Amino acid sequence: MKNGDRRVFAAVATMCSFGLFPEAVGQTIPLEIRGNHGAFTLWREEQPYPIRGVGGQTSLAALRKAGANSIRTWGPDGLETLLEEAKRHELTVCVGLWLGHERHGFDYQNEVAVRTQYEECLRTVQALKDHPAVLLWAIGNEMEGDGRNPAVWYAVNHIARGIKAVDPHHPTMTVVAELGEDEVKLRNIQRYCPDIDIVGVNSYGGIESLGQRYRRSGCEKPYVVTEHGPYGPWEVAKTRWGAPCEPSSSEKADLYRRGYTKAVVEQAGLCLGSYAFLWGHKQEATATWFGMLLPDGSKLAAVDVMTEMWTATPPPNFSPRMRSLVADRTDNLKPGEKVTATVEAADPEGDALAFDWVLHQDTGTVGAGGDWQPPEAAVPAEIAADGPVATVTMPDGGGGYRLFVYVRDQNQGAAVGNLPLYVDAPGKPLPAPQATFPLIVYGDGAQPAYAPSGYMGNIDAIKMTPSWPENPHTGATCLKIEYRASDQWGGVIWQSPANDWEGEKPGGFNLTGATALEFWARGEHGGEVVNFMFGVLDVAQPYRDSAKAELSEVSLSTEWQRLRIAVDACDLRRIKSGFGWSCAGRGRPLTFYLDDIRYLRE
């Protein structure tokens, strides 16, 4: 053990002894990997323990009833409570230790940032390692990019080595997005990460060939499929106007079955199990693309399939099956034109079915790496529905829409599908969704409402580090901003959606009710002069900012100071550029820090 590691472990032990971390309740239950060379087995409490899991942490009683034995998390927030709940339901937890992503600005060449990240991971492990619901440690999730940067793998292995020193009872795993070109990610894990025990692989469209490609790589470690489900929106056919075509929930169920069979069942001995994605629901491309449950708790056919895979027994009641969803026209529609859609669905037990038709706007957003996306609003539209047939009068505004149909039985089972539609007409603004407060622009552990995508001026001189660990105002990190030129000017705008400078895309939030935009700032040396603003999208386009304001020429000190822009007198019906900064080079570069950027209602 290195001297620095000893200091970290001693500090962690001291923090635990003073109650800065809660003590885990219960007794450690070790997990052991037995076997080698493609004949691996997990053992827990002297029994084989194939992982039958999901990503997610809701409806745990229903999950256990379906036959699962484990859940996976991505970060440490709320883990103490979750571990206790999992224990009550006889579930284990694959504990995710979140690592910074280079595409989000994390610099694996920055020794301070990497060291702080290491210490945060070790604190979590020390605090939770003795809880009986802990199964293993998942170090990072898709933080590797193309997998070719050795600095990422050195950091991962350093964390894994540190974990083994304080917790020899639970294996270490790192999670990657597929295997990379020529399986480069596996080759580099094998080369640089001797202290990683298991490779976690998130695989969607490539899952049926995953085992074959994994064996071809020569990686000697076992794997767990850490995410699998339907094809992703980046892997499917698209319409003429670029909208990805989403499979129905019934078609997705078949993909869950095929993927699990090919990558898990047929690779027994190399694969130790899987975590299906997602036990719950989320907005990603659409409101229904990823999710085994609907917001009201109704189960989709993916739950039936995984129940059968986990228990070798059919569920007591199947969800409805959707055989087809068609419309008489989908493209080159005119405002006010009527479209008739028909769904063919049936319930295996013959239950009566209820049909719910909803029209949504469709921005065509296909995100990266599962990043948070705001929900797409339902569109007020005239829908004349008669069970499985609906006639929709298209809205006045042009652009992309999706017609969703939800089919429900009488036993909490459901099916869902949608059709992309395109209205050939000038765009008409749809109302921005009403925000809830506080609305977070930047802060620890929060889903940001806006993306810092609008780089301006001398963009080559700008560097933003979103998880800077030194002297944050609150929490573990703050935002470090560097303008590295001594002349010209630069700045960054937080946008919704990202990169929309023209105001042609729906987005933003209705911030009516907010009284202030509040944030904290400090300078590196003091005297740094920075401008702060919101509402810069003042263009003659349908989706523009309804108000703007600015704090000009703010001189920062080395101490954190609270800054506020009053907004209670502003028209806040649509704010697309929620925050921004700019500065000028005044003979030397400058560095400053921001934290806790939010809209408040007081």
pLDDT in tens, 475-505: 888 999 999 999 999 999 999 988 889 887 7
> What one-character-per-residue DSSP string does 522-556 give?
EESSS--EEEEEE-----SSSS--S--EEEEEEEP
pTM: 0.79
pLDDT exceeds 90 at position 13: no
Locus of tokens 């084989």: 48
DSSP H or E run through 250: helix 249-263
The 10s digit of each residue's pLDDT in 145-186 is: 999 999 999 999 999 999 999 999 999 999 999 999 999 999
2: confidence class by pLDDT, cuts 50, 70, 90:
very low
Where residue 264 falls among pLDDT bands split at 50, 70, 90? very high
* Dist. CA 336–CA 350, nearest whole Å: 37
pLDDT of residue 370: 60
Please give the mean pLDDT across all residues of the chain. 91
The mean per-residue pLDDT over the stretch 328-339 comes to 96
Separation CA 381–CA 362 (nearest Å): 14
Q: Phi first, then psi: what are they for 271, rounded to 5°?
A: -95, 135
Q: What is the pLDDT at residue 6?
A: 45
- Quick: pLDDT tens for 369-384: 565 566 666 787 899 9
Q: pLDDT over 70 for what percent of the chain?
A: 93
pLDDT at 469: 82
- Give the residue-averaged pLDDT of 202-219: 96
Residues 6+ apart with CB under 8 A from 101: 142, 143, 145, 369
For the segment 232-237, the average pLDDT, to the nearest whole number, is: 92
